[in-house]
Amino acid sequence: MQKEAEWENEPEDGDNGESRYERMAFTVDKGQEPIRIDKFLINRMEGGTRSKLQQGIEKGFVLVNSQPVKSNYKVRPGDHIIMYADTAPELTEIIPEQLPLDIRYEDDDIIILHKPAGMVVHPGSGNYTGTIVNGISWYLQQQKPALSESELPRFGLVHRIDKNTTGLLVLAKNETASMRLAGQFAEHTVHRRYIALVWGDFTDDSGTVAVHVGRHQRHRKMMDVFPEGEYGKEAITHYRVLERFGYVSLIECRLETGRTHQIRVHMKYIGHPLFNDETYGGDKIVKGTVFTKYRQFVENCFALCPRHALHAKTLGFIHPASGKQMLFDSEIPADMQSVIEKWRRYVGAKGMDVE
């Protein structure tokens, strides 16, 4: 049931909240003869097999008129079909590891945790251990020893964030919770707000970036924007200026979609790369003078926050079991906060003396 495995071959950097499930919708034509839904869908999939499709149907990945069905369901003219394709690559083995996990909330269905900078979410080429999934596998096996090592990655992780981005993640503890959360990500109803320190000042207090994001044509570990939409996927970021420091700005970004490196590549596109983002050009002086004191000040800031300055601060969704609205908020991490305070002092001193 895979179309384009966005996560594949991205062991060091992920995305900004992208769901691991891709949503596809079909409406059955008026002249369609009744046939089994697995036969109907197999011809509309790329790279899938009937056995995997049937497994997905049995797990509730296929809805007809908003209701899960069995593989022997026969489609009817006018049926509205939604299929969730799991885009995570197949994993041969997950090694449970006892790792430090900052769990902020847990119940029978979900876990909310805070990811530190430098920790990869999902195992991949070059990062088979030390990831969030390795740690969660060990953690959940202590609660449920019968949990297989291959089971968690198939339902636990419904989105992820970059290796060097900090902030909140939600993980599902069962397949029902996974699919209900996946539906909210796919329908863009999850409340996600990020805090970023970016280069430059903004003309307006708020704005929206709406251009397709896809794999860079030459540098495969990077993403690029495609304004005409001829390549990539739709990506929409709403931003609001929180504080202005002249040469840099503190902004809040609200994701309407979640694509790989979305905020980072969108900000670069509009001329405001993230502070100290080495992948997208923010790890050098983008705005300001080249005078020795200013250059030293910026280098000191880079040393305080040796990563791109992005934090997944707020996460909200409907609880997959209770139906209640859940909203979680996290503090800006110390490295970002120290740089923000340093810029405040710099602006307050009117640039006369650089620390």
Q: Which residues are known to be catalytic?
A: 162
> What is the rounded distance in angstroms from the CA atom of residue 61 to the CA atom of residue 54?
10
Residue with tokens 């390795």: 134
Direct distance between the N- and C-terminal alpha carbons of the chain, in angstroms, rounded to an integer? 55
DSSP letters along 241-300, please?
EEEE-SSEEEEEEEESS--TTHHHHHHHHTT-PBTT-TTTT-SS--SS---HHHHHHHHH
Angular region, 325: left φ>0, alpha ψ -120 to 50, beta rest: beta
- The token duo for 276 is 């100290």
The amino acid at 295: R
The amino acid at 113: L
Give the three-class secondary structure for 179: helix
> What is the rounded distance in angstroms from the CA atom of residue 222 to the CA atom of residue 233?
15
> What is the rounded distance in angstroms from the CA atom of residue 224 to the CA atom of residue 159?
21
Is residue 129 within 8 Å of residue 123, measured between CB atoms?
yes
> What is the rounded distance in angstroms from the CA atom of residue 322 to the CA atom of residue 329?
20
Q: Which residues pair with 197 in a beta bridge?
A: 250
Is residue 224 within 8 Å of residue 216, measured between CB atoms?
yes
Cα dihedral 69→144→106→152 (10° resolution):
-50
> What is the rounded distance in angstroms from the CA atom of residue 244 to the CA atom of residue 54?
53
